[in-house]
Amino acid sequence: IITAHVEGKPTKFIFDTGGRNFIVRDSLSTHNVRIISQETVADVNSLASNLPKGIVSSLRIGKHYSMKNAPMLVMPNNNFYRLLNVAGALGGEAFSHVTVTFHPKEKYITLSYPYRPKGVSRKDGIQMVMGNNFHSVVPVNIGSSTINALFDTGMTGFMHIVNSDYAKLKDREKIDIQAQGSGVFHIGIGGIKDAKQEEIAKLDIATMKIGNKQFANIGTLRQSRSHSIIGLELLDYGKVMLDYPRGLFYFFPFDDDVADMSTKTKIWNVKILPIEYHFEVSATIGDLDVEIGERVWNINGRGLEDVKPSEIDINNILNSIESDTAYILVGKEEKSLKKIMIKKI
């Protein structure tokens, strides 16, 4: 989360390298967005929405970088942004004239304009495929093959692979299917109610390389979307620099060791998401005696009555469980709950 100044007013946004500039409708009353057109936008679940598109006369990020007439979509209200106390998100288009450096250990970003930071050579960068929306799509080596993946700070996890890339790789590289399932794994623009369930598979990829950093035994989900994704957890392994004006991606690993991801990229075989003001099972992987849409009341002894309807909060509860097994209590009413054992895969 970063603070920008919209027409001089300090405003909190998520910095989402895989998304677009947008403001949620709740925030229109305090920010002057001049609507100029409509645009059809697809969300993380490939659900298309026709959204108002506007501009704000000035957008300043940091002390010295500012844009005039910055583009800004208007999104429907969403509890996710309300609970984070943010007005919306800023994508690569807000940083199109600067180099952005993520400093994960120090937990801040720096902007460099008009050049890259001193000592960084152009030849060390990887050419991005950005398109008109300045998305940071970069080549990633899977075994001896190469795919393009979107570096997306708005996506948790390490990697998600798209069906079309898996189809290209499955007969050429060592990729094992651990389990298959279905459901909805992420809340998009239209909310979860309108999202279509999709077929999902948990894969294990033997080797992968990003820049000069080698990774091994990478767990990933195979899903339907526009790009394979390298998520926010890449920053656990190094510093990332996005040189938007020259379209270059830099990854500076913290060490030269091969990172064994076998434990790090395990996931639970159930996905739980907020539905209005409670939580439901939204997807399952493998054999699990629970129905999609069943209400979840308790996770491993932790009641959910006081938990905000936030995907981040429910993920934090699951991620805090150290064991590879746990249980959830599900049912229509709290009086008649059944206990379901879940596990990491």
Strand order in the sheet with 99-103: 108-112, 99-103, 238-243, 248-253, 126-127
Q: Which residues of the chain fall below pLDDT 50?
A: none
Angstrom CA distances, 247 to 67, 132, 133, 154, stand at: 19, 12, 12, 20
pTM of the model: 0.88
What pLDDT is recorded for position 44? 64
What pLDDT is recorded for position 279? 94
What pLDDT is recorded for position 72? 94
Nearest to 208 by CA among 143, 163, 137, 162: 143
Q: Give the span between the Cα atoms of 51 and 40, in whole angstroms.
A: 6
What pLDDT is recorded for position 45? 60
Are 224 and 46 within 8 A, CB to CB? yes
What pLDDT is recorded for position 189? 61
Amino acid in the structure at residue 32: N
Opening angle at CA 272, ends 74 and 177, nearest 5 = 105
What pLDDT is recorded for position 113? 86
Q: Give the span between the Cα atoms of 98 and 243, in whole angstroms.
A: 7
Q: Which residue has the tokens 């000069």?
A: 212
Angstrom CA distances, 336 to 116, 272, 291, 330, stand at: 60, 19, 15, 9
What counts of helices (H) and strands (E) characterise the chain? 3, 26
What pLDDT is recorded for position 10? 95
